[in-house]
Structure formats: C-alpha cells, structure tokens
Amino acid sequence: MEETRLIKPLLDKEYPMISHGDGIYLYDTDGKKYIDGSSGAITASIGHGVKEIIDEMEKQANKISFVYRSQFTSEPAEKLATKLSELAKGADGGYWSFFVNSGSEATETAMKIAIQYWQEKGVKGKNKILSRWMSYHGITIGALSMSGHTVRRARFVSLLEDYPTISPPYCFRCPYDTTYPSCNYLCAYELEKAINRIGAEHIAAFIAEPIIGAAGGAIVPPDGYYQVIKKICEKHNILFIADEVMTGIARTGKMFALEHWETNADIITLGKGMSAGYTPIAATLVSEKIMEPIKKGSRLIMSGHTYSANPQSASVALAVLKYIESNNLVEAAEKNGRYMFSKLLELQKKYPIIGDIRGKGMLCGIEFVSDMITKFPFKKEIDLTTMIVKQAQLNGLLLYPAAAGIEGIGGDAILIAPPLTITCDQIDEIIILLSQTLSDVEKELR
Ligand code: PLP
C-alpha cells in the first residue's frame, strides 16, 4: 500500500480515489462507476454535479464567501433562516435558526439551548438530556453523551454523561417482547418512568431521531408513538428535541420526518441533506417558545463557531431548498420511496438472510438475520454488514452500514438512501446490484 498522510476511517483499507460525480453516479480515477445508493452518508440528496447549485456557489463566491457572524449578517443567512421557519410548520410563531457546520454541532447546540432556556426562565438544575438507546446524535463529547451508540461511546465512556435512558421503538425486536398495538406504547411510557425515577427537576429535554438511522437501520416507530412522547414531555415540563439531521429536508417523503406523525418539536436539528453535501452547513431550529425567555433575558445564545452562518454555505442550502421545491422532491421521495420499498420486499422473498425491511420515503433499512424464525443475528466474527457493504462497492453499489440487533450480541443492517432525484429505472439498477451482492455474500457464507 502506498504511503499516505491522510487519516482515513480505516488505516489499513485501500480507498478508491474519486474522480467526479454525475446525478446518482460516482466515478473513480480508474473509470469505475458506482451508484450512490446511500447518498454518501445520507447526504447527497439531490445527486452530484447539479448545475443550479454549482452556478449559485460561483455567484456567491464572486460576492463574498466568508464573514464573521459577530461582525456581519448576510442576505443568504437571513433568507435561509426565514425559509426554514416557513418550512418547519407546526410550532406556534415558527422557528429561529442557529447555523453550524455539522450534525454533531447542531445537536450539541440544541442541548446547550435547552439547558439555557430553563436557566433564562429562572428554573435551576434542569441540565440532563434524556435519550434512547440505539440512537446517534453526533461524535463530539456532548452529542455522544446523548447518543445510545455503544460502539461509538466505548472508548470515551468515562468522559460522557450517562444520558441514554429508554428503549428504542424497535418493533422487529420489541424490548418488551410484545407487539403493536397491544403493547400500548410500553417503550414510550418508559420515558415517564425514567422521568419519575430521575426527577423532572433535573431534566432539560428529551432528544430523539424521528426515524433511527445509523444506530438502528431506519427504525420507524409505530403510529402514535411520538404523540405519547410529546404528551409525556409536556406533562413533565421537558423540552422535545427532534434530531432531523438524517431525516430532515425531504428525505423521508416529508420536509421534516416528524410531519408523518403530526407532531412538532421545541428544537429541531438539521444537517446532511440541508446542503446536499455541496458545502458543510447544519442548523439548530429553535421555536419561538424557547426563544422568548432568551429574548427577554440574556439575549445571547452561548454557542457559536467561526464558520457559523457563512454566506457561501447558506447560499448553497437556499439553492438546495429551491431545487427540492421546484423539482417536487418531497413528493418524489414519497412516491419513488414506496416503489423502492416494494422492490426490497420482493428481494426479501429471495434471500432468507433479509430479516426486516423498514423505513419511509428514500430512507430504507434492511436488517439481516441468520435464522428467519428465531431472528438470531449472524455471529459477530462474520461481520456481515462490512461483508455486504464491501461486496456491494466491488459490484458498483454504495450502501451505508448501520448498527442493529441484540444488545451485547450485535447484529447487521444497512441503509439504502439514494438521492431523491433517482428514477424508478435507476431504482431497478440498485435492486439488481443489491441482489447480485446478496447472492455473492450468500455464496461466501456457505
Ligand atoms: N444526528 C444524526 C441523526 C445523525 O445521523 C448524524 C450523523 O450521522 C449526526 C447527528 C451527526 O452529524 P455529523 O456527522 O454531521 O456531525
């Protein structure tokens, strides 16, 4: 292997060198073509090389790329905040935007604003953020503290707050061994038990991904789940933070995934698809209710980053939103997502290792099992997820590895989340390559 100074995710793995992208396809410098079946990390949601975005980048770069937020505001940042407030219907009075650069920064900012909100209201001691096991809210210490992702926590446990508290709404492996609807949302009511145990006077907020992504492989809660969660939060004076970093901005067939359950959040985090990967930007959306005591109080949100609200990234995010609206990509994600889901269900009949297909819109997950009846996962040593993702890449299909399975034992899942611009014919291409991959892997497993 050639000497390299770039720290890549796995130091002993060879990564192909990217050459360029076009729509849902990527090409490496050896001329190999890949279908971007996961939009990278569920990010490139309008595909690669979109002229409208590149033109906007050039136009803005010719005006100004960077100003420091403590010295200037800019038209793109102002317009983006207004646009996001219009899109995030639900909360009375709309939302204010705090721009950052990554999903981790967005959730960490959400955590800080939730704590600040109670301080500004004169309520002392509400500092804890409850969350779910099987969740991922980011890699920085605060965001990781809120994440129920055992593998990513492991090395830093002694530095982390002990936050994740309740079971996920994981119907495929129900934590209570029951089924919906007779379960009566036991996993949601776990939140109330936790609040009673810990004491609402210590808790600032509860954070959840509307659909669990990297930590669960597109786990969709049963209908009514979020209404129960919201009711419990309101009853106990606890804020509800929706982490829409992966699910937001049209990915699931709604602009915000929480719309599927007609619920709104006090604080929403966005990232990934917000700029569709063209430039880094993420956001913490803060409802008027949360802003009110801050506006009457210190009038300063105690957070911020050098690149926050830079006009270059804001102009890209605005252009992406315009592109999504003018190409009806929310509707496309819903309609073509249903097509993709039906094709995956057909594949399940062919491959007994497919235990579960789940998701919404253009965010689909597959969980693999070694036995259809017992749902027992493959042995950890096999590392089936890596096998599948690696084989798919060899076959020219990019997939996203996710965690799932049984606590302490593990399991295997992938996310399939191509750009929202994908056509049904291109979905068929994914299905052919995925089928080929599963057949190759099954042979290897024999
Ligand atoms: N929140 C969710 C739901 C995510 O899926 C991710 C990333 O996968 C993050 C937060 C962290 O985002 P980033 O990797 O941009 O820091």
pLDDT exceeds cutoff 80 at 1: no
Give the position, in ligand 1's atom list, of the atom nearest the Cα of 41.
8
Mean pLDDT for the chain overall: 97
pLDDT at residue 38, as a whole number: 98
Report the chain's C-alpha Rg in angstroms: 21
181: preceding bond cis by omega (within 30 degrees): yes
Give the position, in ligand 1's atom list, of the atom nearest the Cα of 105.
16
pLDDT exceeds cutoff 90 at 91: no
pLDDT exceeds cutoff 90 at 2: no
**Cβ-proximal residues to 255 (8 Å cutoff; 6+ apart), any chain:** 87, 88, 248, 249, 330
CA-to-CA separations, 272 to 105, 112, 280, 339, in angstroms, rounded: 12, 21, 8, 24
Burial 307-345, CB ≥16 within 10 A → b, else e: bbbbbbbbbbbbbbbebbeeeebbebbbebbeebbebbe
Nearest residue by C-alpha to atom 10 in ligand 1: 137
Q: Distance between CA 288 and CA 291 in Å, rounded?
A: 5
Contact status, residue 204 vs residue 239, Cβ threshold 8 Å: yes
What are the phi and psi torsion angles at 313 (to 5°)? -70, -40
The secondary structure of the chain in percent helix, strand, coil, rounded to multiples of 5, reads 40, 15, 40
Our mutation pick for probing the ligand 1 site, out of 144, 246, 249, counting the most ligand atoms within 8 A of Cβ, is 246
Distance (angstroms) between ligand 1 centre and the Cα of 215 equals: 10
**Cβ-proximal residues to 397 (8 Å cutoff; 6+ apart), any chain:** 34, 35, 37, 430, 433, 434, 437
In eight-state DSSP terms, residue 180 is T
Note the pLDDT tens digit of each residue in 169-178: 999 999 999 9
pLDDT at residue 220, as a whole number: 98
- Residue 163 pLDDT class (50, 70, 90 cuts): confident
Specify the range with the lowest mean pLDDT, choosing from 8-12, 20-24, 55-59: 8-12
Q: Which amino acid is at 259?
A: E
Note the pLDDT tens digit of each residue in 316-354: 999 999 999 999 999 999 999 999 999 999 999 999 999
ipTM over 0.85: yes
Q: Distance between CA 286 and CA 303 in Å, rounded?
A: 13
Three-state secondary structure along 316-360?
Answer: HHHHHHHHHHHCCHHHHHHHHHHHHHHHHHHHHHHCCCEEEEEEE
Distance (angstroms) between ligand 1 centre and the Cα of 103 equals: 4
DSSP for 99-129, written as a single string: EESSHHHHHHHHHHHHHHHHHHTT--S--EE
pLDDT at residue 158, as a whole number: 96
Q: Beta-carbon neighbour count of residue 413 at 10 Å?
A: 28
Task: Map residue 262 onto helix, strand or coil.
Answer: coil
Give the position, in ligand 1's atom list, of the atom nearest the Cα of 243.
3
Element (H, E) at 363: strand 363-368
Q: Which amino acid is at 21?
A: G
Q: For the chain, how long is the longest CA-to-CA vector?
A: 67
Nearest Cα residue to 341 out of 352, 329, 354, 328? 354
Distance (angstroms) between ligand 1 centre and the Cα of 241 equals: 14
Distance (angstroms) between ligand 1 centre and the Cα of 161 equals: 18
Contact status, residue 210 vs residue 226, Cβ threshold 8 Å: yes
Note the pLDDT tens digit of each residue in 430-445: 999 999 999 999 999 9
Distance (angstroms) between ligand 1 centre and the Cα of 423 equals: 27
Contact status, residue 311 vs residue 60, Cβ threshold 8 Å: yes
How crowded is the C-beta side of 349, counted as CA atoms within 13 Å?
4
Give the position, in ligand 1's atom list, of the atom nearest the Cα of 272.
15
Element (H, E) at 438: helix 424-445
Note the pLDDT tens digit of each residue in 113-153: 999 999 999 999 999 999 999 999 999 999 999 999 989 99
Q: Distance between CA 29 and CA 289 in Å, rounded?
A: 51
Distance (angstroms) between ligand 1 centre and the Cα of 216 equals: 13
Nearest residue by C-alpha to atom 1 in ligand 1: 137
* Helix and strand counts by DSSP (H, E) for the chain: 13, 14
Our mutation pick for probing the ligand 1 site, out of 102, 141, 245, 247, counting the most ligand atoms within 8 A of Cβ, is 245
Q: Distance from first CA to last CA of the chain, Å, rounded? A: 30
Q: Which amino acid is at 304?
A: G
Number of residues that this document lists for the chain: 446
Q: Distance between CA 131 and CA 296 in Å, rounded?
A: 29
Nearest residue by C-alpha to atom 14 in ligand 1: 103
Distance (angstroms) between ligand 1 centre and the Cα of 214 equals: 8
Nearest residue by C-alpha to atom 8 in ligand 1: 214
Q: Which amino acid is at 385?
A: T
CB-defined site of ligand 1, < 6 Å? 41, 102-104, 107, 136-139, 209, 213-214, 243, 245-246, 271
pLDDT at residue 443, as a whole number: 96
Angle between helices 311-326 and 75-87 (to 10 degrees): 40
Nearest residue by C-alpha to atom 5 in ligand 1: 246
pLDDT exceeds cutoff 80 at 92: no
Q: Beta-carbon neighbour count of residue 262 at 10 Å?
A: 10
pLDDT at residue 35, as a whole number: 98
Question: How far from chain centre, in Å, is Cα 144?
Answer: 14
